[in-house]
Amino acid sequence: MNGWPWSELGLDGPSALGEVKRAYAQKIKTAHPEDDPEGFSRLHRAYQAARQLAGSGHTPQSLDFGPLSFVETEKPPDPPKYADNDAEIPFEDYERLFAEGDAEREEIRRRRAEKRLQEAQERRRTQEKIQRDRALENEEAWSAAYEALHALEVLWSGEVSKEEWILFFHSSTFLNAQHNLDFIFGLEDFLAEHPSLPDEVRRHIYLTYKFYTGKPDTPYLGLYRMLESDGKKVRKKIPWRKRIRADLPPVILLCILLSALTIDFFFLNSTGRNQNAFPAGSSPAVSETVPEPQKDPEQAGIETAKKLAVSLAAQDYPGPYALTDAGTASSRDNPGEKFYWAQCTGQTDGGDTLVMNYFLSVDGTRIYCISDAQNAGDVISLVKTGATAAGGKTVDIYRCAVA
């Protein structure tokens, strides 16, 4: 087996100086000083030794310096005296070998730099997109908060009725900005600047933010503390005679409105039946109608339940109330029976929280008004208390029977 330095250069044995240079030029491409300094050092020592051996013409048979460079159990022999033939090796060849390695290392460094630059540009583009999206969201949120705060000032300056305030708290203008921090802080400033705001409006804000469920999260604490006394305020008892005189005009107005809607509904139905009864041999008049856009039946049913809940809740709450939830529900006795459901929250005369649930049948002909306390019972007895019109149908109203 051939020993060092020929094995380090990948040569079969002692070779001429040209072969040594070519072998070194091939090996140095895989042994870079930066990536493998130890391998480069071993290769360079082997090249120097092989170059001197090839230049002097000596061909020792068992010259192996590998073990001696790691295990120094005895003093190594003095290296043989070779003729000084360095002048025969062109210095340009030595420089060319190192220049090839330097060029390859420079190419690797260039590719790494380009890769880092591309990664940095990609990170910058991603960060710029995130900043643009965040700025757009902030702009939309600020616009919604500004619109809602401006509406508050308009309502205050216009000295509108309590009903107008309640409509605002159910409008999209308020709902879009309800949980916006800018709007919450602006609402705090509005309440501080207008301490004479009606108590019913302040209590409605308290109910809308569901502060009756307990202490809210940190962003709402300031608003909660400002409205806490209004939420816990107990409404004074009003003698029943005064209460009847105070509540009679709205009740009369509501009855007149329901009667007009009912008469209009039956009149339209009877007109439609008369138009359909045309003599034999004649044909009905054909009118061109623009088809209405199709709506999701479930969403339309939920919207109808919400409208009916807001209307019927006026009979269940003596003071302000808020529409707090909506969706679909199933019958407790018959899970296959589905209802459109809406929920309102308000307070009783004594200041206790009252949660009312309104269940509208899928066919839109019945609505059941049941409180949370009544719904917790084992048996619920319902009686028909009236009727109203919604969605082009007559809706029967059912409430829990009073024991």
Q: Is the model's pLDDT at 63 over the cut of 60?
A: no
- Residue ending a domain, choose from 66, 89, 112: 89
**How does pLDDT run across 290-300, given as a tens digit for each residue?**
555 566 888 98
Domain closes at, from 28, 55, 89: 89
Structure tokens at 147: 């619109």
Q: Is 308 strand, coil or helix? A: helix
Look at residue 60 in the predicted model and tell me its pLDDT. Answer: 46
Q: Whole-structure pTM over 0.85, yes or no?
A: no
Whether residue 173 lies inside any domain: the answer is no
Residue-wise pLDDT for 336-391, tens only, equals 888 999 999 988 877 788 889 999 999 999 999 988 877 766 667 888 988 888 87
Residue 194 domain-assigned?
no
Distance (Å, whole) CA 362 – CA 127: 49
CB 177 within 8 A of CB 145: yes
Last residue of a domain, one of 33, 67, 89: 89
Tell whether 283 is covered by a domain: no
In a domain, 197, yes or no: no
Task: Give the start-end residues of each E strand in 225-381.
Answer: 321-330, 338-347, 353-361, 366-371
For the chain, what percent of residues have pLDDT higher than 90? 16
Domain count, the chain: 2
Task: Please state, in angstroms and as integers, the Cα–Cα distance from residue 394 to each residue in 311, 364, 367, following that order.
Answer: 15, 8, 10
Give the range among 70-74, 360-364, 392-396 with minimum mean pLDDT. 70-74
* More confident: 251 or 22: 22
pLDDT computed for residue 349 by the predictor: 77
239 belongs to a structural domain: no
Q: Annotate 258-297 with b (16+ C-beta within 10 A) or e (fewer).
A: eeeeeeebeeeeeeeeeeeeeeeeeeeeeeeeeeeeeeee
The answer to whether residue 236 sits within a structural domain is no
Task: Label residue 97 by pLDDT band (50, 70, 90).
Answer: low
Mean pLDDT for 68-91 is 45
303 part of a folded domain: yes
Looking at residues 80-105, what average pLDDT do you find? 55
Pairing of strands 366-371, 382-390: unpaired
CATH number of the domain that residue 42 is part of: 1.10.287
Amino acid identity for residue 264 in this structure: D
How far apart, in whole angstroms, are the C-alpha atoms of residue 144 and residue 174?
8
Are 82 and 56 spatial neighbours (Cβ–Cβ below 8 Å)? Answer: yes
Q: Copy the structure tokens of residue 67.
A: 């073990």
Tokens of 319: 């003071």
Range of the domain at 311: 296-400
| Position 377 in a domain | yes
Tokens found for residue 359? 């269940």
In sequence order, which residues have a C-beta less than 8 Å from that of residue 390 and are 6 or more positions away? 304, 307, 308, 364
Contact between 175 and 216 under an 8 Å Cβ cutoff? The reply is no
